[in-house]
Amino acid sequence: MKIRTIIFAILLIPGLWIKASGDLSNAEAMFIYNFLRHIEWPDGSNNNSFIIGVYGNSPTFDQLVEFTKNRKVGTKSIEVKKISSVAEVAHCQLVFVPHNQSSRISEMKNIIGNKGCLIVGEKEGSNVLGSTIEFVIQDNRLKFRVNESNARQQNLMVSKTLLDMSIQ
């Protein structure tokens, strides 16, 4: 467990250097997968799968499918789905919202209520709209910011390790 945390920290503390959009999608997928290890969802889900929804079209979808293949969250297999309506977020444990769909985050948050669903926004400033984690590019490096208040509203427990690695 400590080895994973150390590897995660090495990769995330300085952020990931982004050269091209393909690199960005790959980095986002890696971050999202690693977020799964540092968030505790509430009990009560009867699904056998952990569902990651990608709202709309995003190259990150293909990267997530590849990155999560044959991996699990606890005992649950990970299933990555494209979602095209805001109502579909109610069936996800994590939703990735691409930059061009950020305006839908508030609506998603209203549908989710306090159900444990982690909303990850690609656009900086999406935490204000209701995402729990937002990606930020600083000095050509991908970083992230966690909104603890939004996490509490979604009944999600964020590890201290993840909070320490996030930017303010």
- Of 160, 18, 28, the closest CA to residue 94 belongs to 28
Say how far apart CA 47 and CA 76 lie, in whole Å.
8
Q: Averaged over 19-39, what is the pLDDT?
A: 86
Residue 78 has pLDDT above 60, yes or no: yes
3-state secondary structure the chain: CHHHHHHHHHHHCCCEECCCHHHHHHHHHHHHHHHHCCEECCCCCCCCEEEEEEECCCHHHHHHHHHHCCCEECCEEEEEEEECCHHHHHHCCEEEECHHHHHHHHHHHHHHCCCCCEEEECCCCHHHHCCCEEEEEECCEEEEEECHHHHHHCCCEECHHHHHHCCC
For position 2, what pLDDT does the model report?
Answer: 52
Say how far apart CA 41 and CA 73 lie, in whole Å.
10
For position 80, what pLDDT does the model report?
Answer: 97
pLDDT digits (tens, 9 = 90+) for 111-125: 998 899 999 999 999
From 3.90.550, 3.90.350, 3.40.50, 2.60.40, which CATH number describes the 2-165 domain? 3.40.50
For position 109, what pLDDT does the model report?
Answer: 94
For residues 132 and 139, which has the higher predicted lDDT (pLDDT)? Answer: 132
Most confident of 19-28, 44-53, 106-115: 106-115
Q: What are phi and psi of 87, to 5 degrees?
A: -60, -30
The reported pTM is 0.86
Are the beta carbons of 105 and 118 closer than 8 angstroms? no
pLDDT digits (tens, 9 = 90+) for 153-165: 999 999 999 999 9
Average per-residue pLDDT for the chain: 87
For position 22, what pLDDT does the model report?
Answer: 57
For position 74, what pLDDT does the model report?
Answer: 86
Q: In Å, how far are 62, 86, 139 from 147, measured between CA atoms?
A: 26, 21, 22
